[in-house]
Structures are given as C-alpha cells and as structure tokens.
C-alpha cells in the first residue's frame, strides 16, 4: 500500500523527489505519513479534497481485507 501511495502522489506533484511515505503499523490501524514538498500540498488534496478523499477511500478498502483501519496524514 505504501508503494501505491508513493506512485500516485509522485505522478501528481511537481517535486517528486520530496515525496516520502512513512508507514506506522499498529495492531488495529495503519498510519501513513505522507510528506510532500512546498507548494504541492494543494495538488495532493485536490479540488474540494477530492484526491485526498479518493486515496483515503481506496486505502480503507484495501485495509478492510485485513480487518484494519487506515489513517493518511498529509504533511507539507
């Protein structure tokens, strides 16, 4: 899943080198920390938060198979 976030976000932003994903695996939930370069935050969030919402929904669906919850934090 980490790979997926990285790939999607790198395709969307201006500075792909500054994209970093950190995965914190818990017992019942997985937390992803997504770091993007300056000025790219808006691109990841998208119009009215559509892109961020879409990524979160897909992560939730993927984690549902393992019976876990996911949290995606986007940090500039």
Partner 1 sequence: MKMVRASGTNLAEAIENGINILRVRKEEIDCEILSETDGETQVKVTIKEPRQHLSELASFILTSCGFKPNIRISKDDKGLYLNIKTKHTDAILIGKKGETLWSLQYLISRLMKRFHPNLKILVDVGGYRMRRNNFLKKKAEAIACIVLQTGREMALDPLTKKEQQIVEHKLAEIKGVKIYTIGKGVSKNVIIAPNDEFK
Interface residues with partner 1 (CB under 8 A) are 1, 3-4, 7-8, 10-12, 16, 50-51, 53-55, 57-62, 64-66
Question: Which residues are CB-neighbours of 8 under 8 A, at least 6 positions away?
Answer: 55
Give whichever of 61 and 75 is closer to partner 1, judged by the CB atom: 61
Ramachandran category for residue 18: left, alpha or beta (phi over 0 → left; psi -120 to 50 → alpha): alpha
List C-alpha distances in Å: 32 to 58, 65, 66: 13, 17, 16
Count CB atoms within 10 A of the CB of residue 26: 10
Give whichever of 28 and 65 is closer to partner 1, judged by the CB atom: 65
Nearest approach in angstroms of CB 6 to partner 1 is 10
Nearest approach in angstroms of CB 16 to partner 1 is 5
Give whichever of 33 and 60 is closer to partner 1, judged by the CB atom: 60
């Amino acid at each position: 899943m980490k790979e997926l976030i990285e790939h999607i976000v790198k395709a969307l932003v201006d500075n792909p080198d500054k994209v970093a994903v950190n995965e914190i695996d818990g017992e019942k939930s997985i937390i992803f920390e997504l770091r993007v370069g300056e000025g790219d935050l808006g691109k990841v969030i998208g119009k009215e938060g559509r892109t961020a919402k879409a990524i979160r929904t897909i992560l939730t669906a993927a984690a549902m198979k393992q019976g876990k919850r996911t949290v995606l934090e986007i940090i500039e």
